[in-house]
Structure 1
Amino acid sequence: MTSYEELVAEAAAVPTDGWDFSWFEGRATEERPSWGYARAMAGRLARARAALDIQTGGGEVLASAPRLAPLTVATEGWPPNVARATALLHPRGAVVVASPEDAPLPFADAAFDLVTSRHPVRPHWAEIARVLQPGGTYFAQHVGPASVYELVEYFLGPQPAESRNARRPDRERADAEAAGLEVVDLRAERLRIEFLDIGAVVHFLRKVVWMVPGFTVDAYEPRLRALHERIEAEGPFVAHSTRHLFDVHKPVGRPAR
């Protein structure tokens, strides 16, 4: 068996930029939502005239679409991902704009007939409504409440109710409607994740930095070593992600609020 030290050293050396999760193959598994977001998004892009992908990460999901809209723009706030997305998307004719995730979108009103996003930190509904054309669509997959909290709480202990209840789809629906948008479809699923070795846990927490803020191997060494021993003795560490799919429409003839 590979030792704790070897597994952790390997995971600590892997680059964390972009949203390519291929390194986890054979190390972790995650059930996928039944709706197939990337495939469904690609179908929307093929019919759009002007499309915006918000918080594109490294551009991997957007670039997976066989056909982009004639005008395709993506935003991203983290500099390493901006560079990665630019290299991936510019050859496809898409423009990448560096924009902090909490800033207003740097585009004119009604600039796009399609806005997409996969796992935005927080949906800025008023801004989404503003940049959508009347009749336009916001199509996105969001992270839901208490996602992977089995792992979060293993390291941080029980989390307050306000943290566990953040990102609830019913609240996001209400916020979208308050911005003048119409929610055409909203689906939610809870999905099984298995971490097969401690290296997968380390790489996940280094990559998804908001799960355990300030995570380092040294800071959490006792808990990591204990979890390694648990996985070796009992099998994979099981957690659950939560995802919801939004299909949102901007009504014709009614301005966003």
Structure 2
Amino acid sequence: MTQLMDQWTRDAAAPFEGWDFSYLAGRMIEGEPPWSYLHLAKAAVAGAQDILDVATGGGEIFASLAPFPGLARAVEGYVPNLDVARRRLGPLGVEVFQGNTRSGMPFEDRTFDLVLNRHGGFRAAEMHRILQPGGVFLTQQVGGDNLADLVAAFGGRLAYPDNTLERVCADLTALGCEILKREDWRGSVTFLDVGALVYFLKAIPWVIEDFDVERHRGVLESLHRQLQAGEPLRFTYSRFLVQAVKA
């Protein structure tokens, strides 16, 4: 197991920037929801003028929606991602601000007619505040039960169990928004080797709190034996999508 531990340690230390998982190319197979967030976002961008991308990460997804018809802004709360996002989005005319919807964002009321959010935390009241009347909010979220089977394997607990389609729709409806689209999906993600899982857990630290190769060596070795026995490392993704319009 020494050689495996050395490899897992290298995987844990591999650089991760923005929201780029290219390091795992060929080592992880992800299911996809039946809807296309990109398709829906592109259609929404085409009909908007003042656009905000919330929790833009390294700007990877938002950049793919360019060119933008009018004013485009992005906001990111994780400081290491700010320079990454600014390098990527700046040439597209997008200014990137630091902030998040939980603590508040540096924009006036009724600034945007489209707010996008893919896999980022948000507060419904803040979305409502910055949207113009008739403005659209489109979000794809990671469900609160995401990877519950993986978390259980490590004896952990879910980080955001209340992040559900029902709660988000209820919060937006209470603010007077009309729900145009609501979708829910569960699918699989498969890791082809334990090192790929190690990299994934280091890159997304809220899945397994205080994840560490040495601390969780017993679980990792058990998962490796599972693979050797011909049983895949397959776990359950949870995603939901909401499109709402402000009255």
TM (norm. structure 2) is 0.94
For 1:245 and 1:84, locate their aligned partners in 2 and report how far apart those are by CA, in whole Å: 26
Q: Deviations over 1:146-204 (max 9, x none)?
A: 101111111125x48xx684212111111111122111110111011111100111011
Q: Is the 8 A contact 1:7 1:198 kept in 2?
A: no
Q: Deviations over 1:10-67 (max 9, x none)?
A: 3123212211122222111111111111232122112210000111111101011142
- The one-letter amino acid of 1:55's match is A
- 1:209 alignment counterpart: 205
- 1:237 alignment counterpart: 233
- The one-letter amino acid of 2:20's match is D
Give the superposition deviation at 1:210: 0.7
- 1:140 alignment counterpart: 139
Matched, 1:96 2:92: no
- The one-letter amino acid of 1:248's match is A
Q: Is the 8 A contact 2:115 2:136 kept in 1?
A: yes
SS of the equivalent of 1:174 reads: helix
Give the superposition deviation at 1:139: 0.7
- The one-letter amino acid of 1:190's match is R
SS of the equivalent of 2:154 reads: helix
Q: Deviations over 1:202-228 (max 9, x none)?
A: 011101111011111121111112211
Q: Is the 8 A contact 2:101 2:126 kept in 1?
A: no
- The one-letter amino acid of 1:198's match is V
Instruction: State the identity %.
Output: 35
Q: Deviations over 1:48-104 (max 9, x none)?
A: 100001111111010111422421111101111111101000000001001145211
Unaligned runs of 5+ in 1: 252-257
- 2:81 alignment counterpart: 81
For 2:14 and 2:161, locate their aligned partners in 1 and report how far apart those are by CA, in whole Å: 32
Find 1:188's aligned residue among 168, 184, 189: 184
Relative to structure 2, which stretch is displaced further, 179-188 or 133-142?
179-188
- 1:167 alignment counterpart: 163
TM (norm. structure 1) is 0.90
CA RMSD after TM alignment: 1.8
Count, aligned residues: 246
Q: Is the 8 A contact 1:188 1:244 kept in 2?
A: yes
SS of the equivalent of 2:201 reads: helix
Q: Deviations over 1:97-116 (max 9, x none)?
A: 01145211211011000000
Q: Residue 126 and residue 101 in structure 1: after superposition, are their counterparts in 2 closer, same or farther (change >3 A)? A: closer
